Amino acid sequence: MTARPIAVRAVGAHLDRVDGPLKVTGRAPYAVEHGSDEGVRDHLTAWIVGAPVARGRVLRVDATRALSTAGVVSVLDHTSARRLADTEDGELAILQDDRIHHRGQVVAVVLAESAEAAREGARLVEVHVEAREHVADLDEGDLYAPEEVNAGHETDWADGDVDAARADASVVVDQEYSTPQEHNSPLEPHAVSAFWDEDRLTLWDSTQSVHGVAQTLAPMLGLEVDRVRVRAPYVGGGFGSKGLPHSPEMAAALAAMSVPGRWVRLAVTRQQMFALTGYRTETRSRIRLSAEPDGRLLAVEHDAVSQTSRLKEFAEQTATISRMMYAAPARRTTHRVAALDVAVPSWMRAPGEMPGAFALEVAMDELAVACDVDPVELRVRNEPATDPETGNPWSDRRLVECLRTGAERFGWTGRDPRAASRTEGDWHVGTGVAAATYPALWMAGNVARVESRAGGRYAVGIGAVDLGTGARTVLQQIAADALEVDVAAIDLAIGDTSLPTATVAGGSSGTASWGTAIVQTAQQFRADHGHDPLPGLHSRTEAESYPEPEKHALHSFGAVFAEVRVDRWTGEVRVSRLHGTYSVGRVVNPTTARSQLLGGLLMGLSAALHEDGVRDPRFGHVVTQDLATYHVASHADVPPDLDARWLDGADTLATPFGGRGIGEIGIVGTAAAIANAASHATGVRVRDLPVTADAFL
């Protein structure tokens, strides 16, 4: 049986985070705190030593001085680390040979009795290398077409004759837009506690996917997957960087396997994160919008370029948003990448949609100006009746309502469209809008377990991960409604590979995918055992595809409105108002949902004004490798008027509880709305992130 829509009671209601008290009192154990309460006193600390050059060969790792430091136990390098059974994944196959593929790559791991000794030991390890020429600059890379782009999208995609449409168009916007390299900066850096007993490997990992880590690492280590147990009860954020395992997890595993019977803790430093745990690649987009004089699009063209690593390909799907966002008879999108001698890029909140929406939504603002049409109205005029990419009907496209409702709340009506038309004291003031979207992804392969306990309680288990989003709380609400009991009657277990298989907390797919598995299993349980079951009876069901995804285009939508102030003398940019209005199906928990959306908006603001990973192409490393130089938004950046709201509704074509994912849409379009507002304030068009003072001077 497949899941059926459920009647909601707990779903949709406020519920404080069930793990809130544990977290705020410091009693929730994070990955490297594991064991602190359980008498693990003799753990070792592992410290990563990174490659000092961008490309070349390790001639020799001289650990003499490190090993003479008090507390240093051993130093692993490519000559001494355990051999992997599979080295196909170059990012993870560390310490297997002498090749250096990027600066900062793991070339040695120091094990010591304390973190201080490990760090000092790492400083004293001498890595002798033979450097080779490298390319670490996108301008110097050779562009090629990847076989596909992230999330399995087609590399190139076209519909209609864009050249003919452009030739016929009265108005053409043809511009280039760029976003810089950006780095995931979760509060908790990547961290692992690892233990090997010569038979089983146990990891307490700060990850977005316990099963994903086990399934990836086990075959590489030559182990059956059930001999790798991964636990992640509490995770301090990830934004995608913990969605896939990266080399620190392998470093911790190899380190632990070198000292059977002892716990090993490995905490990646903030600086090391800039080389080892993934990042958003720099993107460049050329957008051509061809339109009628009234702004109706005739053609949308989006050609995206980004970088990847020679070590492992990751191709940001920057242009896919332009395939489906607006109606245009002709559309064409391409992706090209250059493989450089740099660290491997990966997922960062809304990979693809975030940089793509920046380009497309600034271009739409330029088109609005060129056609003298209100930017909200321009988007309404280009609303597609069906999904332009698939031709499928939308499950629930409410972008126009988001734009109209948001405009009213924001007070958009009556806006003077002329740029640089409003000043307040020393400030130019402007407003801008951008649209947002994110696909409602549903991942196959989730299994849940429901078991009845004495006193009318139910144990519900799934290997899902709550990376700080509130997943633990909302899954409890979904389970309660699926079983038709109170939230308080649910004992939920997550974050452990000993629980049934779950897919990644990523792609805004977690709640939808895990929630559907829980609903389906709960319904199976009721069918098998009725409403008054004996304790101990249990059902375990793999969720089949939810009925409708193939027949409908499932996306969330949103409209972001920003008010920006630019100092006329210094060029300082401040966001004074930021509103997002979203259509995300049914919101499972307004408290945690609001946090997700506000967090997404602020991360978009951070990208708009601050984040800029600067690589020195001469040496191949990111020089802004800490939070002093890689700026992220701080409390002082939070607009006095910040708000996220959503339209009431439910999308039961997406999930049996009517909700769609909300983790990523908040960052989509936000930087464009801010850039558009800055352009409106000053008359200076901004096409490159971040938007900094120099643009206006």
Residues found near ligand MOS in the complex (CB under 6 A): 208, 239-240, 243, 347-349, 351, 506-507, 664
The least CB distance from residue 577 to ligand MOS, in Å, is: 27
Q: Is the separation of the CB atoms in 288 and 359 below 8 Å?
A: no
Nearer to ligand MOS, 212 or 388 (CB): 212
Nearer to ligand MOS, 263 or 279 (CB): 279
Q: Determine the Cα–Cα distance for residues 63 and 677; give it in Å rounded to an integer.
A: 55
Nearer to ligand MOS, 179 or 208 (CB): 208
Q: Where are the beta strands (DSSP E) in 165-282?
A: 171-179, 191-196, 201-205, 228-231, 264-267
Contacts of 449 (CB under 8 A, 6+ apart): 459, 460, 461, 462, 499, 500, 521, 538, 539, 540
* Among 120, 361, 611, 664, the one annotated catalytic: 664
The least CB distance from residue 437 to ligand MOS, in Å, is: 15
Contacts of 570 (CB under 8 A, 6+ apart): 693, 697
Nearer to ligand MOS, 439 or 500 (CB): 439
Q: Is the separation of the CB atoms in 673 and 364 below 8 Å?
A: no
Whether 572 is catalytic: no
Strands 228-231 and 201-205, sheet pairing: parallel
The least CB distance from residue 541 to ligand MOS, in Å, is: 25
* Nearest residue to ligand MOS on Cβ basis: 240
Task: Give per-residue burial for 589-612: e unless 16+ CB within 10 Å, then b.
Answer: bebbbbbbbbbbbbbbbbbbbbbb
The least CB distance from residue 396 to ligand MOS, in Å, is: 21
Nearer to ligand MOS, 471 or 475 (CB): 471
The least CB distance from residue 309 to ligand MOS, in Å, is: 17
CB atoms within 10 A of CB 148: 14
DSSP H helix total and E strand total for the chain: 15, 29
DSSP track, 32-100: GGTTTTTT--S-EEEEEEE-SSSSEEEEEEE-HHHHTSTTEEEEE-TTTSPPPS----TTT-TTSSSEE
Supply φ then ψ for residue 194, to 5 degrees: -130, 145
The token pair at 466 is 């709550």
Nearer to ligand MOS, 211 or 349 (CB): 349
The least CB distance from residue 349 to ligand MOS, in Å, is: 5
DSSP 8-state secondary structure symbol assigned to residue 634: -
The least CB distance from residue 209 to ligand MOS, in Å, is: 9
Nearer to ligand MOS, 467 or 608 (CB): 467
Length of the chain: 697
First vs last C-alpha separation in the chain:
64
| Cα–Cα distance list, 20 to 233, 472, 487, 677 (Å) | 13, 11, 16, 37
Q: Which are the catalytic amino acids? A: 664
